[in-house]
């Protein structure tokens, strides 16, 4: 890779902090969601959806931004176990609450094992927007 | 908490666990973590699934003497959120006396061992290095003998490696585009190191001026590089993407006294004066 010399300058900007960029994008989106809360009360966001909203940021930066949003009270995390076709069966507060099987009351009507393909980490708005 | 580190730990833990059993395995694994880390594990699984990728680029940090190397924490912080895993290495507290003492093989071997450990642990990953002060000397000694040690990128700062060090004879160096020597032209310590110690040089004050390395001059002293904003501005783009930004200031002529001390080295001058004194005192006939 060849060297990229930028022109001489008295004030070279800092490399943008991609975590901060992702955090700001997501926070802006969540502010809007809080404002329209009555319409979106049961709104759930998958990790993939939040990644789309955050834009083109490295995944590790996005991970940090999401952790910060959870810590600062914008979002709540939970784990959703789904059917094979992606329909939600049961939600759990944390990974520790995951059972080894869940009853599929939507499609197969039997106990199905909890495997990577039917586990989705989701987010929802906290009860109140943080100040 | 460092997310990249946590991701690597999870990656390691998941190795060998059958795919279908991973959710239940992670459930047990995460139960031993602090709440903050549990939430982070959930976030990582949400983004990567149960196939957490391992770091492909490792940044090793090597400190200088008389320091607790707090700057290593600043670098770790600046690189958090990138895909680069930062690994600080080092050696026990080294005072100025031990720094000047010419026997340094033990500390070089100790760091060599740590570096070898990193290359073993991160087999297949690219490794870059930021070294400061005595850490640059140790690096030069390791690279001189261990020709299989390879770095993707190297940044030196406050370097005490002699400017005439034969970099060209070292195989596998990353090349000029990926080897930067950060020179603080207010840094007097490399000058003192050369003046009073053996095997040291002034490359941290005046640069190497060699084809294999880019000297980048800054209006800084020996530890002036360790500022959060400076690290983000210069080292983050360099280590991540190989971008070498021009420094923010021009390069003035070094002060006269540093040039003088660089030419007339006290380590030779003092014994010479003593010798002349002894000769004059006890062998006055030698001077007629």
Contact call for residues B222 and B204 (beta carbons, < 8 A)? yes
Rounded Cα gap, residues A31 and A74, in angstroms: 9
pLDDT of B277 reads 81
Rounded Cα gap, residues B57 and B125, in angstroms: 5
Distances (CA, A) of B11 to A57, A71, A117: 21, 24, 18
Place of tokens 């090349």: B175
Q: How many CB atoms lie within 10 A of CB B20?
A: 13
Looking at the domain assignment, is residue A41 inside a domain?
yes
pLDDT of A5 reads 42
Rounded Cα gap, residues B151 and B5, in angstroms: 20
For residue B251, pLDDT beyond 60: yes
3-state secondary structure A25-80: HHHHHHHHHHHCCCCCCCCEEEHHHHHHHHCCCCHHHHHHHHHHHHHCCCEEEEEE
Residue A94's nearest CA partner among B18, B29, B81, B9 is B29
Contact call for residues B209 and B173 (beta carbons, < 8 A)? no
For residue A4, pLDDT beyond 60: no
Q: Which residues of A touch B22 (CB under 8 A)?
A: 115-116
The answer to whether the Cβ–Cβ distance between B81 and A9 falls below 8 Å is no
Mean pLDDT of chain A: 84
Q: Which residues of A touch B80 (CB under 8 A)?
A: 19, 64
Rounded Cα gap, residues B220 and B93, in angstroms: 24
Query: pTM for this structure?
Result: 0.81
Beta pairing class for A119-125 and A44-46: antiparallel
Contact call for residues B23 and B31 (beta carbons, < 8 A)? no
Domain boundaries, chain B: 3-48, 57-252, 255-288
Q: How confident is the model at residue B50 (pLDDT cuts 50, 70, 90)?
A: very high
For residue A3, pLDDT beyond 50: no
For residue B145, pLDDT beyond 50: yes
For residue A129, pLDDT beyond 80: no
Distances (CA, A) of B31 to A113, B28, B115, B233: 20, 5, 33, 39
Beta pairing class for B84-89 and B57-62: parallel
Q: What is the pLDDT of residues B55-98, one digit of tens each?
A: 999 999 999 887 667 889 999 988 988 889 999 998 877 777 77
- Partner B contacted by A82 (CB < 8 A): no
- Partner A contacted by B4 (CB < 8 A): yes
For residue B249, pLDDT beyond 80: no
Domain range for A38 is: 18-125
Q: Does ipTM top 0.90?
A: no
Cβ burial, residue B192 (10 Å; 0-12/13-18/19+): buried
- Partner B contacted by A41 (CB < 8 A): no
- Top residue of B6, B27, B241 to mutate, by most chain A CBs within 10 Å, is B27
pLDDT of A57 reads 87
Between 3.30.930.10, 3.40.640.10, 3.40.50.1820, 2.30.40.10, what CATH number should domain B57-252 receive?
3.40.50.1820
Residue A45's nearest CA partner among A129, A121, A123 is A123
Give me the DSSP letters along B204-243. HHH----TT-EEEEES--TTTT--HHHIIIIIHHHHHH--
The answer to whether the Cβ–Cβ distance between B3 and A70 falls below 8 Å is no
- Partner A contacted by B47 (CB < 8 A): yes
Residue from the list A5, A62, A98 with its beta carbon closest to the beta carbon of B27: A98
Lowest-confidence pick of B153-167, B202-216, B238-252: B238-252
Mean pLDDT of all residues in B126-131: 96
For residue A6, pLDDT beyond 60: no
Rounded Cα gap, residues B157 and B57, in angstroms: 21
pLDDT of B8 reads 92
Contact call for residues B121 and B89 (beta carbons, < 8 A)? no
pLDDT of A91 reads 94
Place of tokens 């990128």: B153
Residue B83 is classified by DSSP as: S
CA distance A64 to chain B (A): 6
Q: Which residues of B touch A6 (CB under 8 A)?
A: 243, 245-246
| Strand partners of residue B227 | none
Looking at the domain assignment, is residue A11 inside a domain?
no
The answer to whether the Cβ–Cβ distance between B42 and A14 falls below 8 Å is no
pLDDT of B252 reads 74
Place of tokens 């004194």: B277
The answer to whether the Cβ–Cβ distance between A3 and B7 falls below 8 Å is no
Looking at the domain assignment, is residue A42 inside a domain?
yes
Q: What angle do CA B199, B201, B204 make, to 5 degrees?
A: 140
Residue from the list B26, B232, B246 with its beta carbon closest to the beta carbon of A14: B232
The answer to whether the Cβ–Cβ distance between B245 and A12 falls below 8 Å is yes
Cα nearest neighbour of A9 on chain B: B248
Q: How confident is the model at residue B2 (pLDDT cuts 50, 70, 90)?
A: confident
The count of structural domains within chain A is 1
Rounded Cα gap, residues A119 and B45, in angstroms: 9
Q: Where does residue B241 fall: left (phi above 0), alpha (psi -120 to 50 degrees), or beta otherwise?
A: alpha
């Amino acid at each position: 890779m060849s060297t990229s010399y930028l022109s001489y300058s008295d004030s070279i900007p800092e490399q943008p902090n991609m975590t901060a960029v992702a955090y700001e994008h997501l926070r802006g989106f969540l502010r809007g969601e809080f404002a329209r809360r009555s319409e979106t009360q049961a709104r759930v966001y998958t990790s993939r959806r939040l990644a789309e909203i955050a834009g083109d940021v490295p995944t590790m930066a996005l991970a940090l931004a999401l952790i910060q949003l959870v810590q600062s009270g914008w979002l709540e995390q939970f784990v959703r176990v789904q059917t094979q076709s992606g329909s939600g069966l049961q939600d759990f507060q944390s990974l520790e609450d995951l059972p080894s099987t869940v009853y599929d009351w939507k499609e197969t009507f039997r106990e199905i094992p909890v495997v990577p393909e039917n586990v989705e980490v989701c987010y929802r708005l906290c009860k109140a927007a943080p100040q | 908490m460092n997310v990249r580190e946590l991701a690597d730990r999870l990656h390691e833990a998941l190795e060998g666990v059958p795919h279908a059993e991973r959710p239940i395995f992670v459930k047990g694994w995460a139960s031993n973590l602090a709440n903050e880390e549990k939430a982070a594990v959930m976030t990582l699984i949400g983004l990567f699934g149960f196939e957490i990728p391992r770091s492909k680029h490792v940044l090793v940090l090597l400190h200088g003497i008389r320091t607790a190397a707090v700057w290593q924490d600043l670098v770790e912080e600046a690189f958090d959120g990138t895909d680069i895993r930062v690994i600080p290495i080092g050696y026990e507290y080294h005072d100025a006396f031990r720094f000047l003492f010419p026997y340094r093989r033990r500390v070089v071997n100790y760091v060599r061992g740590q570096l070898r450990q990193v290359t073993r642990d991160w087999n297949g990953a690219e490794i870059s290095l930021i070294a400061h002060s005595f850490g640059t000397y140790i690096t030069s000694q390791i690279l001189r003998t261990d020709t299989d040690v390879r770095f993707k990128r190297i940044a030196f700062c406050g370097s005490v490696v002699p400017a005439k060090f034969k970099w060209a004879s070292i195989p596998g160096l990353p090349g000029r585009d990926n080897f930067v020597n950060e020179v603080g032209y207010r840094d007097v310590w490399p000058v003192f190191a050369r003046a009073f110690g053996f095997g040291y040089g002034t490359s941290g004050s005046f640069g190497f001026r060699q084809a294999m390395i880019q000297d980048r001059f800054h209006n800084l002293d020996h530890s002036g590089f360790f500022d959060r904003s400076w690290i983000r501005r210069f080292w983050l783009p360099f280590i991540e993407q190989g971008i070498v930004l021009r420094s923010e200031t021009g390069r003035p002529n070094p002060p006269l006294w540093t040039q003088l001390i660089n030419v007339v080295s006290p380590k030779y001058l003092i014994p010479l004066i003593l010798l002349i004194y002894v000769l004059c005192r006890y062998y006055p006939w030698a001077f007629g």
